[in-house]
Amino acid sequence: MQTDALLAGLNEEQKQAVQGHDGPILVLAGAGSGKTRVLTHRIAWIIASGKCTADEIMAVTFTNKAAGEMRERLEELGIPDVHSGWIGTFHGLGARVLRREAEHLDLKRSFIIYDADDQKRTMKLLLEEYGHPDSSRISPALMLATISRAKNAFLGPTEFALAATKEFEHIAADIYTSYTAFLRENNAVDFDDLLMLPVLLFQAYPMVLDYYKNKFKYILVDEYQDTNRAQYHFLKMLSSGHRNIFVVGDDDQSIYRWRGADLRNILDFKKDYPDAQVFRLEQNYRSTSVILDAAHSVIVNNRNRHEKKLWTERRGGELVKVLQTGDGNREAAVICEMIMQELKRHRRDLRDFAILYRTNAQSRVLEEALRRAVIPYKIVGGLRFYERKEIKDVLAYLRLVVNPLDSISLRRVINFPSRGIGDVSLGRVQQFALDQHIPLFDALRRADDINGLSARVRSALKSFHGFISKYTELKGKITISELSSALVEETGMLHMYKEEGTEESRSRIDNIRELLNAIYEFAQNRSDATLDTFLEEVALVADVDSLDSSASAVTLMTVHSAKGLEFPVVFIAGLEDGLFPLLRSAETRDDLEEERRLFYVGTTRAKETLYLSWAKRRRTYKDTVRSKRSRFLAELDSDLVEVKEFDVPAYPETYQRPYRTTRKKRQTDDFEQVMPDYENFSQDGSGDTIPVGAEIRHPSFGVGVVQETSGRGENLKIKVYFKDEGLKTIVVKYVKIDIL
């Protein structure tokens, strides 16, 4: 392997960074400056120079997708044994350390990773049990957020309790303590634990730390600006021997402060390591200079940043287009229109387009417009496959088989499908378990010793215990695919859904089949395929990770999800003050700066054309608000911008109607005046509204006939007769109704 070959095609700064000598290195790499390339080539160069082997490298990326791409690139560069390197996300690598060292912690190797939903259920149980006079007024979400913040700042329950001053903080410290104990009793960890526990482990067991310190000769980190304090300690401890820590990041792209990311980590790198070599990559290979300069004209309004300016050889370019529209529906329609134009004029492919937005809720109107315009799209985030009820149910069964201590999963499925075990009975079992100091699952087996249960319930409890135990026994003896299929069959879920016979239950069956298929594929592709590894993958793989860039469709996602990606044409929707920047009750300068960085991330995803759209009125889930254009639009260098106005509002957003280009009336201040009157529309039978007698299709009930309509706008309700379901009342705003 020639080291020279690894430098071919790199610019001067990139070459220097790749060849930096041992010791701490900070690479300040602007958007599109080839930072992943530098990181990959640095690894290849280290290995090719004989400084170490692949298994002595730790490379941390932000997403599994980035890690996968890195591994692929290294293989292409001819690096041997790439798979033996520890290349992954912080969370993934943290989990790997914890599984190996579980015995040192209060954990078994088979621990389960609790997701946000599990955390919420846990917190509810704890708050009920806590019995503090105020505990009913404490929201689980707030308590979890408090604990998460503590963990991200690397504060354990004890430290947190010591720092507590206010009443709420004392309560929170108590609950933090019980929360931690609960997780351990359930042999579970949460996302934050994956970062925090390895550091605690290293502190408590210097020998363990020594092992990893010696194992990894070089540590490389991508997206360093988004690391939190726990991650900072993790890296600092691991690299404290050789100090070969190579970090790449861009302070302008730090967008996870709310998750504990600490900008100090990157801004103070030079203070931590006074001898650090610093390289700056300021040549951008992605965007036109118009886009770069426009993005720059906004980001310079941030105070808390390293001064730098990206440049490119791609002079000029199309002006940034600001689309000013009447309302959210019109905005979506205009975006579709622009896509159609671009497709025609520039012979673009659908995969060249991305539509970005600040909040997932915005995707709905966009989706509707795309469907109406018959433009294929794929959506990242929002409701994920693994978050569907039926999928979570199956996973809960599997989790219970792997880890019977997981009482959250047990509670989820012990009475689903219905086994006649209700809250009261379960409460008795729970009490028995507490008295006997045994896990909830073990208490099931001893149902005969529990007072106040009917014979029927006793037998149901024992048989559930036997059912799960049987599969725990089978684990490892048959393939995970066989096990999962048999288990799902035995739960009776499929049978239950089949009986129901609705369109919704059919789709649930399909989803379960898809999950079983995913398990099968997983087993085919992974040599280490076990139920444990499958469940870990499910917990840690993000939606962007599975984004297929080869499929021919427009991509929809949040700006956060778009980090690290690029597209020839990018739309950013909803550029209104309050929405982007998103403003909550308390607005601080730091919050606003983070929003600005997020805007910067969004704009710099565009290679050739950037559209920024906003709507004068927007319907939130509650009501319609009048908006002002985003301050970020005002900050854009006006020489680089072209404004296009589409001021007429579209039609009410609750029912589907192609917007018309003819102007009915000039925009006035009175909303009602320009909005068509719904009652009249519903009577005129024009086909694209919902008159009585119309045939519609409902996603779960199928086809039916409208009997009656009531309400208007977002409150529009229709009574529909379905053949299988009978008469149903449907609030149109919640369901995608197709008019036939």
The yes-or-no answer on residue 253 being catalytic is yes
237 binds DNA (CB under 7 A): no
91 binds DNA (CB under 7 A): yes
Backbone angles phi, psi at 454, to 5 degrees: -75, 160
**Nearest-5° Cα angle at 444, 442 to 449:** 100
Cβ(167)–Cβ(126) under 8 Å?
A: no
Using the contact rule CB under 7 A, the part of the chain among 153-161, 211-219, 299-307, 358-366 near DNA is 358-366
As a whole number of angstroms, the distance between CA 580 and CA 577 comes to 6
* Contacts for 192 with CB less than 8 Å, ≥ 6 apart: 147, 148, 151, 152, 230
Which of 418, 436, 638, 686 binds DNA (CB under 7 A)? It is 418
The yes-or-no answer on residue 725 being catalytic is no
385 binds DNA (CB under 7 A): no
495 binds DNA (CB under 7 A): no
> Which of 77, 512 has the CB closer to DNA?
512
Cβ(45)–Cβ(18) under 8 Å?
A: yes
Residue 88's SS3 state is strand
Task: Provide Rg for the chain, Cα atoms.
Answer: 28
> Which of 15, 508 has the CB closer to DNA?
508
Residues near DNA (CB under 7 A), total: 53
Which of 184, 230, 191, 236 lies closest to 213 in space, CA to CA? 236
254 binds DNA (CB under 7 A): no
Catalytic residue among 16, 119, 225, 253: 253
89 binds DNA (CB under 7 A): yes
As a whole number of angstroms, the distance between CA 58 and CA 314 comes to 35
Which of 208, 582, 703, 705 binds DNA (CB under 7 A)? It is 582
Catalytic residue among 101, 222, 593, 594: 222
As a whole number of angstroms, the distance between CA 520 and CA 518 comes to 5
Cβ(89)–Cβ(204) under 8 Å?
A: no
Which of 222, 331, 342, 543 binds DNA (CB under 7 A)? It is 543
258 binds DNA (CB under 7 A): yes
Amino acid at 104: H
Amino acid at 251: D
Which of 557, 615, 633, 706 binds DNA (CB under 7 A)? It is 557
Cβ(368)–Cβ(375) under 8 Å?
A: no
Residue identified by tokens 């004392």 is 170
Catalytic residue among 223, 406, 593, 608: 223
- Report which secondary-structure segment, H or E, holds 539: helix 531-540
Catalytic residue among 605, 617, 618, 657: 605
CB of 582 to DNA, least distance (A): 5
389 binds DNA (CB under 7 A): yes
Site string for DNA, 397-416 (x = CB under 7 A): ------------------x-
299 binds DNA (CB under 7 A): no
The yes-or-no answer on residue 223 being catalytic is yes
> Which of 71, 91 has the CB closer to DNA?
91
The yes-or-no answer on residue 321 being catalytic is no
Which of 425, 505, 630, 654 binds DNA (CB under 7 A)? It is 425
Which of 501, 523, 138, 570 lies closest to 353 in space, CA to CA? 570
Site string for DNA, 130-159 (x = CB under 7 A): -----------x------------------
Using the contact rule CB under 7 A, the part of the chain among 2-10, 50-58, 100-108, 449-457 near DNA is 449-457
- Within 586-625, the residues that bind DNA by CB under 7 A are 621
Cβ(733)–Cβ(711) under 8 Å?
A: no
CB of 292 to DNA, least distance (A): 24
The yes-or-no answer on residue 594 being catalytic is no
Which of 53, 178, 283, 360 binds DNA (CB under 7 A)? It is 360
Residue 727: C-alpha distances to residues 250, 724, 730 (Å): 57, 9, 10
CB of 386 to DNA, least distance (A): 11
**Local structure of residue 660 (DSSP, 8 states):** P
Using the contact rule CB under 7 A, the part of the chain among 165-173, 270-278, 354-362, 516-524 near DNA is 354-362
Which of 526, 546, 671, 734 binds DNA (CB under 7 A)? It is 734
389-402 and 531-540 are packed helices; what angle lies between their axes, rounded to 10 degrees? Answer: 140
The yes-or-no answer on residue 456 being catalytic is no
Q: Beta strands 218-221 and 57-61: pairing type? A: parallel
> Which of 293, 714 has the CB closer to DNA?
714
3-state DSSP of 568-623: EEEEECCCECEECCECCCCCCHHHHHHHHHHHHHHHCCEEEEEEEEEEEEEECCCC
CB of 333 to DNA, least distance (A): 21
Catalytic residue numbers read: 35-36, 222-223, 253, 605
Residue numbers at the binding site for DNA (CB under 7 A)? 62-63, 89-92, 115-116, 120-121, 124, 141, 191, 258-259, 358-361, 381, 388-389, 392, 415, 418-426, 452, 454, 457, 504, 540, 542-545, 557-558, 560-561, 582, 584, 621, 699-700, 734-735
